[in-house]
A and B are shown apart, each in its own frame.
Chain A
């Protein structure tokens, strides 16, 4: 079964750090464009970051310089290192697959992990 499972969310103080993980089953992370998308409580979807198949990385302006996307091909995992967290980073964070050539869409989503930034 093709599946994504996120973990690592929790409560953190402003200025703190957190690392989110996304475990993929049923497909190979390194052969897809992998994304992080977040959704603040009661709000819409906001794209956060993407890692291309060849390794290029791109970020939303709101997280550039603070968040880092990475993957571990041997573990078939995707990560999001979040530093200098702000209250406005509070959201459910989803990892999502983009097969690019196959669909041109975010076709598989995890169930999400909640990140709360509060003092």
Chain B
């Protein structure tokens, strides 16, 4: 099962804006949309957004997600030190009956 494509790392300055990308195909991201997960070292992933641009309760409005075709994006505004983490995108591939993940993007706050 092929995975989604994410850049391995992104570095941004404190209080700046970071945009993370995730590219799939018409069977996963392009069909069902994407979800974004945040993971700190040694902790389980946490859902940040689902169905492209919906946030679970309790997730900061600084996190917003969009999708254009087969590419999903997560934008984090006013970067804070606690935003330094790994970010994964995920999507359901109906043709495979499988969840697919991106390789993850390590966000570093400078």
Contacts and interface: CB of A to CB of B under 8 A. Distances in A.
Contacts of A72: none
Majority secondary structure, A binding face: loop
B76 interface: no
Interface string A74-103: 000000000000000000001000100001
B98 A60 contact: yes
B51 A45 contact: no
B85 to A, nearest CB: 13
Contacts of B69: none
B102 A44 contact: yes
Contacts of B103: 44
Contacts of B45: 45, 94, 106, 109
Interface of A: 35, 37, 44-47, 50, 56, 58, 60-61, 94, 98, 103-107, 109-112
Interface of B: 1, 32-33, 35, 37, 39, 43-47, 50-51, 54, 56, 88, 90, 92, 97-104
